[in-house]
Amino acid sequence: MPETPHGANAATSRPPEGEESFGVSMDLVDAVASAIEDGRHADVEVQVASLHAADIADLLESLSDENRLALVDILGSRFDAEILTHLAAPVREDVIDHLGPERLAHLLSELDSDDAVEVFEDLDEEFQHRILTALPQAYRQILQQSLTYPEDSAGRLMQREVVVVPSAWTIGETIDYMRAAEDLPDDFYDLYVVNPKHRPIGKIPLSRALRTRRPVRLTEIMETDIKAIPLTMDQEEVAHMFRQYGLVSAPVVDEAGRLVGVITVDDIVHIIEEEAEEDALKLSGVSEGDLYSATLDTTRARFPWLLVNLVTAIVASLVIGLFEATIQQVVALAVLMPIVASMGGNAGTQTLAVAVRALATRDLTPATALRFIGKEVLVGAANGILFAVLTGLVAALWFDNPLIGAIIGAAMIFNMIVAGLCGTLIPITLERLGIDPAIASSVFLTTVTDVVGFFTFLGLASLVLL
């Protein structure tokens, strides 16, 4: 029986019957790391031979810095250019530095133009210049032109390779052209019909073209209701358009309306994931790079956010200081007051998360804002009443004082109503002011719920108990 290479079992291990596994397992990561450290390069090649480019990217991200670069060297000429498009930005930067400009230029020339631009635009200016000198003239122009468009715009996102056919053609002429042409994109979904000025006047799904008889003219079967995207449209707007109309692809046009590229749904899936992840991370004041950055860099990046939170905490403490005499006389208040602020903060955060996401997906509009605000206020009031009864009973029994139970219950209701109201108004207001609600909303919300919670609870206690 032939000997199985050491570590190969880990690479080819299968999930339990009835289950399907995607990505790379920790067993594979450990096996590859062990083989690299032991110098068993042949085993590494066996372990990664059947992996998809996205899985190799995950593997590179899971390895230590030293082993990561060693794997790149082991792959050598078998390093798939597509791997670069799946890597997290900080890891991709390390890999690119290791590859060098000449090798990277060769890899970029193997990618579709949209993927090449995605990798190229993140490089520093000196590295970009060194790569451009190593690229063919045509590809160099594509990358240089891409940098003239606004960041995160359709011009940066689009793919230049697009199947364009004149309106005078028949299906037979179109099929013959596609069979003979050597510069068509590897994957495409629609054929774009243009007039003599190269403006898109319709599109034909590839499946429809293949089902139609050869003599039929393109103008007879094309869809004329096409959603053309301006070069400067923000990628979030592009993603919203795809989502709104269920698009698979859409043409990109310049200021004169001429067709210059196409955006496909696989690009949009990436954008939606990227925007959602970015918003979630911003709400906590961190970034994608935190996972891969050095300790000092991560500390420096988080410090300003924590400093802002310190200032807001001091504001809340000043409110507590106003009622210092009350707290000294009724010690139970010091025990119970964090409950009011905490419940308000948590309720507000729930509303805030829904509001920020609805704003990002354009579901929360001026037409629906009032209804959404009203609903969240009612939800806050309902939850406030429920938790007021529960917390009030516990506090009354705990300290054998019904008045304390009533005070914390009333403060709970008021603060959760305020939390629901501010959880909607704060992100809506920030967006109207041109400020990203995902970045700043949580700081303002926490301050409001803390200040209102402490002030209401301690203020009521001062009026009723003293």
In a shared domain, residues 412 and 332: yes
Q: b/e per residue, 66-97, with b = 16+ CB within 10 A?
A: ebbbbbbebbeeebbbbbbbbbeebbbbbbbe
* Domain-embedded: residue 220: yes
Q: How many domains does the chain have?
A: 3
pLDDT computed for residue 199 by the predictor: 95
Q: Which two tokens stand for residue 322?
A: 């106003």
CB-side exposure of 286: number of CA atoms within 13 Å?
Answer: 12
Q: b/e per residue, 48-61, with b = 16+ CB within 10 A?
A: beebebbbbbbbbb
At residue 316, the 3 state secondary structure works out as helix
* Domain-embedded: residue 2: no
In a shared domain, residues 113 and 212: no
In a shared domain, residues 152 and 168: no
Which of 157, 176, 198 delimits the end of a domain?
157
Q: Which two tokens stand for residue 202?
A: 């319709």
Evaluated on CA atoms 130, 133, 136, 139, the torsion sign reads positive
Q: What is the CATH number of the domain that holds 346?
A: 1.10.357.20
In a shared domain, residues 47 and 106: yes
Which of 157, 177, 192 delimits the end of a domain?
157
* CB 445, CB 422: distance < 8 Å: yes
* Domain-embedded: residue 434: yes
The reported pTM is: 0.64
In a shared domain, residues 101 and 151: yes
What is the number of H-type helices and E-type strands within the chain?
23, 6
Q: In a structure prediction context, what are the per-residue pLDDT tens digits for the chain, which is 466 residues long?
A: 344 444 444 444 444 444 445 678 889 999 999 999 999 999 999 999 889 999 999 999 999 989 999 999 999 989 999 999 889 888 898 999 999 888 998 898 888 888 888 888 888 888 888 888 888 887 888 888 888 898 889 999 998 889 999 999 999 999 999 999 888 888 888 999 999 999 999 999 999 999 999 999 999 999 999 999 999 999 888 988 998 888 889 999 999 999 999 999 888 888 877 777 666 666 665 555 555 556 676 677 667 767 777 787 788 788 888 888 887 777 888 888 888 888 988 898 889 888 887 887 777 888 888 999 999 999 999 999 999 999 999 999 998 889 999 999 999 999 999 999 999 999 999 888 888 787 778 878 888 998 998 899 889 988 887 7
**Domain range for 225:** 164-282
End-to-end CA distance of the chain: 89
Radius of gyration of the chain (CA): 29
In a shared domain, residues 121 and 188: no
At residue 252, the 3 state secondary structure works out as strand
In a shared domain, residues 175 and 150: no
Q: What is the CATH number of the domain that holds 230?
A: 3.10.580.10
Which of 131, 157, 183 delimits the end of a domain?
157
Q: Which of 40, 38, 68 has the alpha carbon at shortest distance from 56?
A: 68
* Domain-embedded: residue 366: yes
DSSP 188-207: -SEEEEE-TT--EEEEEEHH
* Domain-embedded: residue 351: yes
pLDDT digits (tens, 9 = 90+) for 344-374: 888 988 898 888 878 877 778 888 889 999 9
- Angle formed by the axes of helices 437-465 and 295-322, to 10°? 30
Query: In Å, how far are 150, 152, 426, 429, 436 from 433, measured between CA atoms?
Result: 21, 20, 11, 6, 9
What is the Cα–Cα distance from 87 to 94, expressed in whole angstroms? 10
In a shared domain, residues 31 and 171: no
Q: What is the CATH number of the domain that holds 103?
A: 1.25.60.10
E strand or H helix that includes residue 243: helix 235-245
In a shared domain, residues 141 and 270: no
- For tokens 């193997």, what's the residue? 110
- For tokens 């692809």, what's the residue? 249
Q: Which of 152, 80, 79 has the alpha carbon at shortest distance from 121?
A: 152
What is the Cα–Cα distance from 232 to 190, expressed in whole angstroms? 22
* Domain-embedded: residue 227: yes
E strand or H helix that includes residue 366: helix 366-399
What is the Cα–Cα distance from 84 to 54, expressed in whole angstroms? 9
Q: What is the DSSP letter of 362?
A: T
In a shared domain, residues 444 and 300: yes
E strand or H helix that includes residue 230: strand 229-230
* Domain-embedded: residue 1: no
Q: Which of 340, 317, 304 has the alpha carbon at shortest distance from 418?
A: 340
In a shared domain, residues 317 and 277: no
* Domain-embedded: residue 61: yes
* CB 332, CB 396: distance < 8 Å: no
In a shared domain, residues 79 and 31: yes
